[in-house]
Amino acid sequence: MTALLEVLHLTMRFGGLVAIDDLSFTAHDREITAIIGPNGAGKTTVFNCLTGFYKPTVGQLTFHGRGQPLLLERIDGFRIARAGVARTFQNIRLFGQMSVLENLIVAQHNALMRASGYTLLGVLGHPGYRKAEKAAIELARHWLDRIELTDRADWNAENLPYGQQRRLEIARAMCMEPKLLCLDEPAAGLNPRETAQLGDLLRTIRDDSGIGILLIEHDMGVVMGISDHIVVLDYGRKIADGKPDEVRRDPNVIKAYLGEPEEAPLPTPVKADLAEEGRL
Amino acid sequence: MAGGVLGEVAAPARSIDWAASLKEAALAAAVALVLFLPLIGMQIVRIEGGTGLQFRLGWVAIGVALVFVGRLLLILLGGRSADLLAAAARPFARLPQLLAPYSLWFGLAGVTFAFVLPFLPFADRYVVDVATTVLIYIMLGWGLNIVVGLAGLLDLGYVAFYAVGAYSYALLAIHFNLGFWECLPLAGLFAASFGVLLGFPVLRLRGDYLAIVTLGFGEIVRIVLLNWYPVTKGPDGLANIPRPTFFGMDFTRNPAEGETAFHEFFGLPYSGLHRVVFLYFLILILALITNAFVQRVRKLPIGRAWEALREDEIACRALGINPTNTKLTAFALGAMFGGFAGSFFATRQGFISPESFTFIESALILAIVVLGGMGSQIGVVLAALVLVLLPELGREFEQFRMLLFGAAMVGIMVWRPRGLLAHREPTIRLHPADAGSSP
């Protein structure tokens, strides 16, 4: 188990609003790291910084994916994806008018692009491209089998039920053969059975492919059940970091989720009044 | 407006509210009156010493009365008018999907027909000429389909590339004495570089904004052509553009000294039709090459990336697709085919001027792509046939033919809002086509 992603002093400001405030944490491979926190805590902003959709105001994001460590805050979003960081979106972003299989093939764009000689060889029908395409279909089929969508491979993605769309988006990200998989609320809108399936899928992905998973999730059942490591955010600040059991007992976390316990002492005059009425 | 009003009135109109219906119809009649008064009611006539206005109030009254009655009928039919419309459209709704498995046969039949057309008994010069025009628009439609249909980038200035292709060929042929076949790739290359030139500033734009910028680009090119007199001869246009040759043989009655003309080589009597038919076959082959290329590229990673970009650009970036390169290749390749078509246009006409490259051409090509069904190759053929042949067939109706044309376009959009053939076949299948695809 080695460090896959090191986030150091990450800060993101939008004008006067501080969405993330000096956040540092490490995600390892062969581990599921969950980022949790109340709504508006800045979880998705962390993802957007990681995957190049935002440029962080301050901070260093070091990714130990393939070979040399990469500083993610310095490169374009699509290059981050090429380096091995795949992500899914809170509001599913599939290619709706394309078939399920096509969605999975598009995810292998860069490998296929090289095989097609940047289109030139492909237009001429070079056998090398045909072989690469076959391999791409095999990989897609492997993931279709795992998410149990093989029968619907030729459906348009937009015609799938919601739960299957969620699974397809994960499969699409996995077809990129990433080193780090970032999932933004994958269990949102799933029924309990689908949620359980999702948990199994994520666990097998972690164990079989040896990649790291970074997970944003509200469903505490999922988070506590499958995470190896949890980072808790509140108002952009890290308030806890550790194993599920530790985090679950952390008073700061309980406070952030359930609010302040009402133990604040009552002002003295009120106390006196209440005592007079015999209610205290 | 009519649609919205109809919708509101239609739903609750089970028990007829006569007062409201009459009021509604009167309102429609009033709008019609305002429109018809200048359109139908006034006619400019020649009188001694100039022109004058003649009023035709009788016609206006007839028009307004028709609108009143028609509107009233629509209201009285209530919700059923929409139902009737839907019922009329229903038989066609699944047609494209049912025909999809046979599209190869339709394509083959179409190509065969196109190849024998000039030899059919009714094919005189006029027919072949019109067919050539249709083919130019089919080729332009297929080229623009890359940009609009596949990559989803709304381009209202496509005619600019057509113009660049035409002027490239004309200038190269006139000044450097190059033949059609040498100029063709060069013209394509020039047009493609213009595509990239347009592509760069609009990389971040989508939809309406992109449409406005491309519209401006088309106009810039036309205005430059109009004003750069030393090179383009401005509004005078470029004349005496060399005609294409058949393996070096001219299509002239009396060829230059030491050269052989087409009819002499084949021992045929001279006929002006030879060149027309040759041009027809030339554009047919160019169009088929365009089609083959687009069909092929659609199944390559770049083609799938275009479609993915159309569907969701953010997801594309998250998958490691470089949006800049993908968009620029779409612009460049689309422009290249526009350039090829432009060269053909120049050699066919023998004369070009900026007047041939106005915005209305862009609009027509875009209409072909949209009416055909975005991204559908056969749809483009159908739409080009409709949009080019309809005004031709309508010639007998004189000034009403544009009205007819407009009515046809409205009709298509009402009955098939996503284009004539909106069905999209996946570029790759895991299961055979009849094993059941999307519901």
Each residue's pLDDT tens digit, B247-272: 777 777 777 666 777 777 777 777 77
pLDDT tens digit string along B163-206? 999 999 999 998 888 888 888 999 999 999 999 998 888 888 87
Contact yes or no for A101/B426 (Cβ under 8 A) = yes
CA A183 to chain centroid, in Å, comes to 2
Percent of all residues in chain A with a pLDDT value above 90, rounded to a whole number: 31
How far is residue B88 from each of residues A234, B72, B94, B414, measured CA to CA in Å?
58, 21, 13, 11
Residues 6+ apart with CB under 8 A from A225: A199
Task: Please give, rounded to a whole number of angstroms, the shortest distance from the CA of A221 to a CA of chain B.
Answer: 28
Residues 6+ apart with CB under 8 A from B181: B244
Alpha-carbon distance of B346 to B238, in angstroms, equals: 9
Residues of A in contact with B310 (CB under 8 A): 97
Alpha-carbon distance of A168 to A87, in angstroms, equals: 12
Taking an 8 Å cut-off on Cβ atoms, the answer to whether A123 and B314 are in contact is no
User: DSSP label at B150?
Assistant: I
CA B372 to chain centroid, in Å, comes to 9
Whether A196 and A156 map to the same domain: the answer is: no
Q: Exposed e or buried b for every residue in B146-159, given b needs 16+ CB within 10 A?
A: bbbbbbbbbbbbbb
C-alpha count within 13 angstroms, C-beta hemisphere, residue A29: 17
Taking an 8 Å cut-off on Cβ atoms, the answer to whether B320 and A79 are in contact is yes
- Among B346, B361, B357, which residue's Cα sits nearest to residue B220? B357
**Mean pLDDT over residues A182-190, rounded?**
90
pLDDT above 90 for B285: yes
Q: What pLDDT is recorded for position B60?
A: 87
Single residue among A143, A162, A177 that ends a domain in this structure: A177
C-alpha count within 13 angstroms, C-beta hemisphere, residue B320: 25
Q: What pLDDT is recorded for position B10?
A: 45
Residues 6+ apart with CB under 8 A from A153: A99, A100, A101, A140, A141, A144, B429, B430, B431
Whether A25 and A78 map to the same domain: the answer is: yes
Whether A270 and A186 map to the same domain: the answer is: yes
Comparing A227 with B15, the larger pLDDT belongs to A227
Interface of A with B in 79-98 (CB under 8 A): 79, 81-82, 86-87, 89, 93-98
Name beta bridge partners: A230. A34, A242
Whether A188 and A61 map to the same domain: the answer is: yes
Single residue among A141, A161, A177 that ends a domain in this structure: A177
Q: What pLDDT is recorded for position B266?
A: 76
Residue type, A131: K
Taking an 8 Å cut-off on Cβ atoms, the answer to whether A98 and B426 are in contact is yes
Single residue among A154, A177, A200 that ends a domain in this structure: A177
B8 pLDDT tier (thresholds 50, 70, 90): very low
Whether A184 and A170 map to the same domain: the answer is: no
E-strand stretches of A15-96: 17-28, 32-36, 58-63, 70-71, 85-87
Whether A112 and A173 map to the same domain: the answer is: yes
Could you tell me the CATH number of the domain that includes residue A198? 3.40.50.300
- List the single range of A224-233, B217-226, B391-400, B421-430 with lowest mean pLDDT: B391-400
Domain that holds residue A219: 1-84+180-280
Tally of structural domains, chain A: 2
User: DSSP label at B253?
Assistant: S
Alpha-carbon distance of B232 to B224, in angstroms, equals: 9
B373 pLDDT tier (thresholds 50, 70, 90): confident
CA B414 to chain centroid, in Å, comes to 19
Whether A188 and A261 map to the same domain: the answer is: yes
How far is residue B78 from each of residues A17, A247, B16, measured CA to CA in Å?
54, 64, 9
Helix (H, G, I), strand (E, B) or coil at B218: helix
Task: Please give, rounded to a whole number of angstroms, the shortest distance from the CA of B295 to a CA of chain A.
Answer: 10
What pTM was computed for the model? 0.81
User: DSSP label at A265?
Assistant: P
User: DSSP label at B437?
Assistant: -
CA B155 to chain centroid, in Å, comes to 12
- List the single range of B24-33, B72-81, B87-96 with lowest mean pLDDT: B87-96
Q: What pLDDT is recorded for position B121?
A: 83
E-strand stretches of B257-338: none
Name beta bridge partners: A70. A63
**Do the bridges between strand A58-63 and strand A229-234 make them parallel or antiparallel, or are there none, so unpaired?**
unpaired
Region of residue A254 (left: phi > 0; alpha: psi -120 to 50; beta: else): alpha
Residue-range domains of chain B with CATH:
2-93 (no CATH), 101-427 (1.10.3470)
pLDDT above 60 for B435: no
Instruction: Say whether residue B204 is in contact with chain A using an 8 A CB cutoff.
Output: no
**Mean pLDDT over residues B41-65, rounded?**
82
Interface of A with B in 102-141 (CB under 8 A): 102, 105-107, 109-110, 112-113, 116, 118-119, 122-123, 129, 133, 137, 140-141
| DSSP secondary structure letters along B129-140 | HHHHHHHHHHHH
Residue type, B422: A
Q: What pLDDT is recorded for position A100?
A: 94
Contact yes or no for B159/B359 (Cβ under 8 A) = yes
Interface of A with B in 144-203 (CB under 8 A): 144, 150, 153-156, 159, 172-173, 176
Whether A201 and A77 map to the same domain: the answer is: yes
Contact yes or no for A232/A214 (Cβ under 8 A) = no
Alpha-carbon distance of B20 to B5, in angstroms, equals: 12
The complex's ipTM works out to 0.86
Whether A203 and A273 map to the same domain: the answer is: yes
Contact yes or no for B180/B241 (Cβ under 8 A) = no
Neighbour order of strands in the sheet with A229-234? A85-87, A180-184, A212-216, A32-36, A229-234, A237-242
Contact yes or no for B384/B132 (Cβ under 8 A) = no
pLDDT tens digit string along A26-81? 998 889 999 998 888 888 999 899 888 898 999 889 898 887 888 888 888 888 88
pLDDT tens digit string along B324-359? 999 999 999 999 999 999 999 999 988 999 999 988
B104 pLDDT tier (thresholds 50, 70, 90): confident
Tell me how far apart the terminal alpha carbons of chain A are, to the nearest angstrom: 58
Whether A14 and A101 map to the same domain: the answer is: no
Task: Please give, rounded to a whole number of angstroms, the shortest distance from the CA of A173 to a CA of chain B.
Answer: 7
Contact yes or no for A100/A149 (Cβ under 8 A) = yes
B80 pLDDT tier (thresholds 50, 70, 90): low
E-strand stretches of B108-225: none
Q: What pLDDT is recorded for position B328?
A: 93
Whether A201 and A79 map to the same domain: the answer is: yes
Helix (H, G, I), strand (E, B) or coil at B348: helix
Alpha-carbon distance of A243 to B327, in angstroms, equals: 45
Answer positive or negative: Cα dihedral of A236, A238, A244, A246.
negative
pLDDT tens digit string along A115-145? 877 777 777 777 888 888 899 999 999 999 9
Angle made by CA atoms B259, B264, B268, in degrees to the nearest 5? 160
Angle made by CA atoms A204, A205, A209, in degrees to the nearest 5? 115
pLDDT tens digit string along A154-166? 989 999 999 999 9
By the 10 Å C-beta count (0-12 exposed, 13-18 middle, 19+ buried), B390 is classed as middle
Whether A78 and A185 map to the same domain: the answer is: yes
pLDDT above 50 for B12: no
pLDDT above 70 for A266: no
Q: What pLDDT is recorded for position A274?
A: 67
A260 pLDDT tier (thresholds 50, 70, 90): low
